[in-house]
Chains A and B, each alone.
Chain A
Amino acid sequence: MKRKFLLARDTSEINLPRASDDTSDIVLNIYRGGPNQKPENSYDSYHVPVSRWTTVLDALIYAKERLDSSVAIRYSCRMASCGSCGMKINGIPRLACYTKISELGTHTITCEPLPNFPLIRDLVTDFQEFFDHHKKIQPYIQNLHPDPGIDKLSEFEQTPQEVDEFLQFSYCIKCGLCYSACPTVATDTKFPGPQALAQAYRYFADSRDDAVEKRLSIIDDKHGIWRCHFAGSCSKVCPKGVDPALGIQMLRSHLMSITKKPKKRLAELRETSREGS
């Protein structure tokens, strides 16, 4: 008897097992290719048994372990924490460990390497350029003028409101999905990409950082923040809710001097605490 399985988000009915111990087969198409590989550009198909909670990564590991050990894949934590297993799954950049077969709504799964990253082999891509863009925006706190009254061995104080200004952008796991989805990155090799620009905002918005002008001058370039056109694809694919599009637009509004960075609350807090004591 065929069992129907309805997804919470996808109303298409597909014949996948209802109980976790039932299995059925899917066809997993994996891109095979890369420099010095023969043939250069092809897909290999594997029949993989899946159950209700099988992820794409589970299926890939099954294929690699039992069917074809030559498949090159990259993964690590298996829980959407490290960002290693990013790939294009059925046309959209996703994390393989975070994508259930059942949510794709089809029996044919196509796995391709992340677009806009140089290909090493099969599903493995090179992240050096991506990391280089990240480094260029100086992703570290720069406190150039610390308050002389502050105890050098103590920590910087921040209110919960100040933390909320940048916290979601610090959740970035550098998986590269946003970089793959971005239409500007597709053609512009000098564009830093949504990840780097969102991180630029993360440090800009952090009240412990005061290198405001330096950060803005880095991204105020014809291949910098102005080549973002709010296509929103980066935020659409981000698995951690970082919402890089929001960070980029907020940074742009600061660059246009439409909003000013809030005054450092630390000085105000210190003043208040001195008055109180």
Chain B
Amino acid sequence: MEAFKDKQDSNKWSNREGLKGWLNPTRYGWERLSYWLMRLTGLFLLLYFVGHVYETSNLVGGLDAWNAMLELTQTTYGHIFLILVIGTSTFHSINGIRLIFAETARGLGKPGRPDYPYEAGSLNNIQRSGIWVALILAAAAMLYGSSVLFGGE
């Protein structure tokens, strides 16, 4: 665009939302919230997974190394972290299954002839209910995890 003095200027006025576009889930409904949560939980689980692979490698060091690792992780904060892992993995899995269906146009309805108020057929409660089920199951899994980790067996 001739309106811009240089590349830096054109980047400044490119008006892209950038990361703010990813991070704000509040404006556009349940599907946008699901997108935001999938990204957050995915990153969180990847970090946990890498840590878990490292953590379990302490087996190689023998009993002492393993017990030293347990002392670090089998704490209150460790258990809270694990409960978060349980919740995020449950949500990510169930919502992921919902997305596999939705992204192949299952449960989104069929094209038709739009009429006022021009509401989108794909943003329906059939596919949306997958998000709700994922959230509910994640909460239930976290409760169960809490009962095991803090309740003692």
One digit per residue, 1 when the CB lies within 8 angstroms of any chain A CB and 0 when it does not, for chain B 7-21 equals 001100111111111
Contact of A181 among B9, B22, B28 (CB under 8 A): B28
Q: Find the residue from A34, A183, A236 having the highest chain B CB count within 10 A.
A: A183
Which A residues are CB-close (under 8 A) to B22?
183, 186-187
Chain A residues within an 8 Å CB radius of B62: none
Considering only CB atoms, which chain B residue lies closest to A163 in the complex?
B113
**B105 adjacent to A249 (CB under 8 Å):** yes
B98-116 vs A, Cβ < 8 Å mask (1 yes, 0 no): 0100111100110111110
* B-chain residues with CB within 8 Å of residue A92 when the two chains form the complex: 27-28
8 Å CB contact of B113 from A118, A164, A256: A164
Which of B45-53, B119-127, B136-144 participates in binding chain A? B119-127
Taking CB atoms, residues of chain B closer than 8 Å to A117 are 15
**Alpha-carbon separation in the docked complex, A119 to B17 (Å):** 12
Q: Say yes or no: is A102 at the interface (Cβ < 8 Å to chain B).
A: no
CA distance A125 to B16 in the complex (A): 12
A118:B13 contact, CB within 8 angstroms: yes
Q: Knowing A230-B35, A232-B29 are in contact, say whether A115-B122 is a contact too (CB < 8 A).
A: no
Q: A125 vs B17: C-alpha distance in the bound complex, in angstroms?
A: 14
Q: Is the CB of A231 within 8 A of B27?
A: no
B interface residues, tally (CB under 8 Å): 43
Bound form: Cα–Cα A118–B3 in Å = 10
Chain B residue at minimal CB-CB distance from A201: B111
B38 at the interface (CB under 8 A from A): yes
In chain A, residues 127-170, which have Cβ atoms closer than 8 Å to a Cβ of chain B?
A: 128, 164-169
Considering the chains assembled together, what is the distance between the CA atoms of A166 and B150 in angstroms? 56
A256 to B105, CA, bound (A): 11
Contact assessment for B9 and A243 in the assembled complex, using a CB-CB cutoff below 8 Å: no
Q: Does A23 sit within 8 A of B, measured CB to CB?
A: no
Verify A232–B32 contact, CB threshold 8 A.
Answer: yes
Range class of the A interface residue count: 35 or more
Contact among B14, B35, B120 with A231 in the assembled complex (CB-CB below 8 Å): B35
**In the complex, what residues of B have CB within 8 A of residue A247's CB?**
111
CB nearest to A80 among chain B residues: B118
B1 adjacent to chain A (CB < 8 Å): yes
A-B contact pairs, 28 of them (CB 8 A): A35-B1, A35-B5, A36-B3, A92-B27, A92-B28, A115-B17, A115-B21, A118-B1, A118-B13, A183-B21, A232-B32, A232-B35, A233-B28, A233-B32, A236-B32, A241-B118, A241-B120, A243-B111, A243-B121, A245-B123, A246-B120, A247-B111, A249-B102, A249-B103, A249-B104, A249-B122, A258-B104, A259-B105
**Additional A-B contacts beyond A164-B112, A232-B122 (7; CB < 8 A):** A91-B27, A119-B13, A168-B114, A185-B16, A236-B31, A242-B114, A246-B122
State the A residues within 8 Å of B (CB).
34-36, 91-92, 113-120, 125-126, 128, 164-169, 171, 181-183, 185-187, 189, 205, 228-233, 235-243, 245-247, 249-250, 252-253, 256, 258-259
Q: Please give me the 6 A-B residue pairs with the lowest Cβ-Cβ distance, nearest first.
A: A186-B21, A241-B114, A232-B31, A241-B118, A235-B120, A186-B17
